[in-house]
Structure 1
Amino acid sequence: MSSGTYWEDLRTASASIPNVDRLRGSRILVTGATGMICSAVVDLLLFLNREFDADITVFVAGRSEADANRRFGGFAADKRFVFVQYDATSNDPAAQSIEVDFIIHGASNANPALYMQHPVETMLANIVGLSAMFDVARAAAAKRVLYVSSSEVYGQKDGTQPYAEQDFGYLDILHQRAGYPSSKRAGESLCVAYGMEYGIDSVIVRPGHIYGPSIRDADNRVSADVTRKALAGEDVVLKSAGAQLRSYCYTLDCASAILTVLLDGDSANAYNISNPHSICTVRELAEAVAHAGGVALRFDVPADATAGVHNLMDNSSLASDKLESLGWKPAFDLQHGVDRMLAVLRESGGRLSL
């Protein structure tokens, strides 16, 4: 394996899933499987196979088999690792004839800059792609579909209290970047609709701001940018004061939460994914990364900052009570998670692969 530290973190994260043994022998289709969040989900499933002989067949759905083989190279030859050609903007997936027990739909454009470049494709992945997965679930008589939504569905509200699952603020549906949160909202409603009309069981997760070693090269979000700077031994630079309040969560905590909700979440319910020990400002995240990297934190705020590209929520902190009521507990607080992230990336030469 390219990183022994990451393998240890997988062991730690797997212990956070209360009823993990119920995954044994199951068939799980994961879309967006090479993305930041769902690649960590696949990592956990493959770890369970390797360490505990869980006999889970993992269908890895994506647009590029080469990308999947590169990301999961040590497992690509395993008979329980099956690549499925899949485009989330299409309603005619190659996955249509697959026999699966569970579907995790995480395929989505989660890069704010790309929302602006490909708003149509962003919306289609969140609605049409999800609908296609429900069609797969109907054909296979799958037990459950899990939809990876977003904390951005909440919109804006006053104050600094974390959002509980029933809290919703204002969302300007005509804003230039509204296609992402609006289509995530629509995707959640689609989950309920498929349950009402076709009896398909589903659950929803709303991750906050996720960081970790599975960042992709094209990711230009603040957490990814400061990580790359620190890894290169360069000063961490913020383009704002960093006052926005966020729920940060290490990728493997996020992955263990997803599998917990998949197994034990209540049908047609949404669950925030948030680490109560990692609710902090963007500046505090940058300070943690700079500390772990042994570099300085500097500010370079441009006069003509393009606010339209960025998350408009000054407060996007999330309450985790509902998730924790399922028995899940996070394993990595902010500084520990950041330290582990940089350690893994150093061991793997800056690019995580299994």
Structure 2
Amino acid sequence: MIKTIKLVFTWSELNKQVKERVKTCHECQKCKRAGKKKYGLLPPKTAESTRWNIVNIDLWGPKSVDPISKETQVDYVAMLALFLSYLLCSTYVSTASGLSSPECVTIRPIAIVTGGTRGIGSGISEALADAGYDLLLTYNTDNNAANGFADQLRARCADDDICVECVGGDISLTSTRDDIFSRFDSRFGGRPLAVMVHNAGQYVGVTSDNVAGLTAGKPLSFGDGSLANSDGTTNMDSLQYYHRMYGEAFVDLCERSLARMSGTGSLVGISAPGVTASLYSPDSSYSMPGSGKCLMEYSMRIYAKIAAERRINANIIVPGVVRTEAWNRLAKTRGLSDETEMMKGIVDRIVPQKRSMDPRDIGDAVAFLCSDTGRFITGTVIPVDGGVHLQH
């Protein structure tokens, strides 16, 4: 014998939630473009509540019943049958009981962004948060800055109950990547991953510490003797670190992310000018990091080809001159008080649009590639640089 379960709701509560909390399907962008609010499950206001509010905006709750304030009991089986018969989009389901934190109640797409709490990564995280993603962000060593940024995102998206998790550690280490996916698996309860963005990077010895103990100095280059040790051997320390941070990390992140994606997804890497042969001339001062990003760019094309049948796209974005705190630290290593003069000179020299960019400009490009609108863009290296690639 099946026990009939009753659902309890009030029209006044539904009307309020319809205005404030109604969600459109993540998969079906047609609903969003048409400005329609289709059928879905609205989460309860608090984690203590065990009610499910089932709402069909087109069929239920007309103005004629707005005055109804008493609680109305609805047969669960009949309501569910009606709901399923009109199900046109994927549903957002919330079963609040048993969850450890109310901010993760609503089922929404999840994105992992490495280096997602500072610089360009912060703009990527903001754009994805605004697009409705829960976030797992990584940082290297600055725990206070990472948690402060996460708090800002939560406050910014408070109405959407966004979930933001942070994991620290040098991304070049396998153990750090173990921690990332261990946190993903434990925190998000088996939900599929939608987006992975590998953005983490650094000017070695300038913008962050590193586990290899490498320090700032004159840029190492291929062919000019700067890699030679005193005993005639070649110093590969810097080269190998950048390969681990950009190339190996990207491959590992993609492999683990693909295993957690279902139905659709996006893989994105953030590269730099001077790496892609068809777009930029080689820059000898970027020999070490550029070699690591070459592996990232090439492997991206393979991932794009192999994962295409799963509706997963893969792309690389090459930013232009983006205003971040990294420029300030770099300027100080060159004896300048701040980055203003240095950035202006670079922008005037290499950027046809004659202006620098904000981190959010890159974030918006990432969000576009991860949307249904950008789904058919795959296997490409895309300069989002104000025309820098036209000058090389």
TM-score, with structure 1 as normaliser:
0.55
2:147 is aligned to: 69
Whether the 8 Å CA contact 2:319–2:362 is kept in 1: the answer is yes
Whether the 8 Å CA contact 1:34–1:71 is kept in 2: the answer is yes
TM-score, with structure 2 as normaliser:
0.50
Q: 1:127 aligns with which of 220, 223, 247?
A: 247
Identity %, equivalent residues: 14
Whether the 8 Å CA contact 1:202–1:267 is kept in 2: the answer is yes
Whether the 8 Å CA contact 1:25–1:57 is kept in 2: the answer is yes
Whether the 8 Å CA contact 2:328–2:339 is kept in 1: the answer is no
Q: Which has the larger radius of gyration?
A: 2
Whether the 8 Å CA contact 1:109–1:122 is kept in 2: the answer is no
Whether the 8 Å CA contact 2:195–2:267 is kept in 1: the answer is yes
* Structure 2 Cα separation of the partners of residues 189 and 145 of structure 1: 13
* Structure 2 Cα separation of the partners of residues 228 and 129 of structure 1: 32
Q: 1:140 aligns with which of 240, 249, 260?
A: 260
Whether the 8 Å CA contact 1:62–1:86 is kept in 2: the answer is yes
User: How far apart are 1:75 and its partner, in Å?
Assistant: 3.9
Tell me, yes or no, if structure 1 residue 57 matches structure 2 residue 129.
no
Tell me, yes or no, if structure 1 residue 273 matches structure 2 residue 384.
yes
Tell me, yes or no, if structure 1 residue 244 matches structure 2 residue 337.
no
Per-residue CA distance 1:139-191 (angstroms, 9 max, x = gap): 20261211111122146xxxxxxxxxx4354x37xx56401122212211011
Change (3 A) 1:192 1:226: same
1:182 is aligned to: 291
Q: Aligned with 1:201: secondary structure?
A: strand
- Aligned AA (2:318): R
Tell me, yes or no, if structure 1 residue 107 matches structure 2 residue 200.
yes
* Structure 2 Cα separation of the partners of residues 241 and 197 of structure 1: 39
2:363 is aligned to: 255
* Structure 2 Cα separation of the partners of residues 76 and 111 of structure 1: 31
* Structure 2 Cα separation of the partners of residues 241 and 198 of structure 1: 38
* Structure 2 Cα separation of the partners of residues 229 and 245 of structure 1: 16
* Structure 1 Cα separation of the partners of residues 255 and 339 of structure 2: 43
Tell me, yes or no, if structure 1 residue 219 matches structure 2 residue 329.
yes
Q: Identify the structure with bigger relative contact order (alpha carbons < 8 Å, sequence gap 6+).
A: 1
Equivalences, count: 236
1:80 is aligned to: 163
User: How far apart are 1:243 and its partner, in Å?
Assistant: 6.8
* Structure 2 Cα separation of the partners of residues 256 and 40 of structure 1: 8
Tell me, yes or no, if structure 1 residue 29 matches structure 2 residue 29.
no
Tell me, yes or no, if structure 1 residue 95 matches structure 2 residue 217.
no
What is the root-mean-square deviation in Å for CA atoms of aligned residues?
4.0
Q: 2:316 aligns with which of 204, 207, 228?
A: 204
Change (3 A) 1:192 1:29: same
1:338 is aligned to: none
User: How far apart are 1:40 and its partner, in Å?
Assistant: 1.3
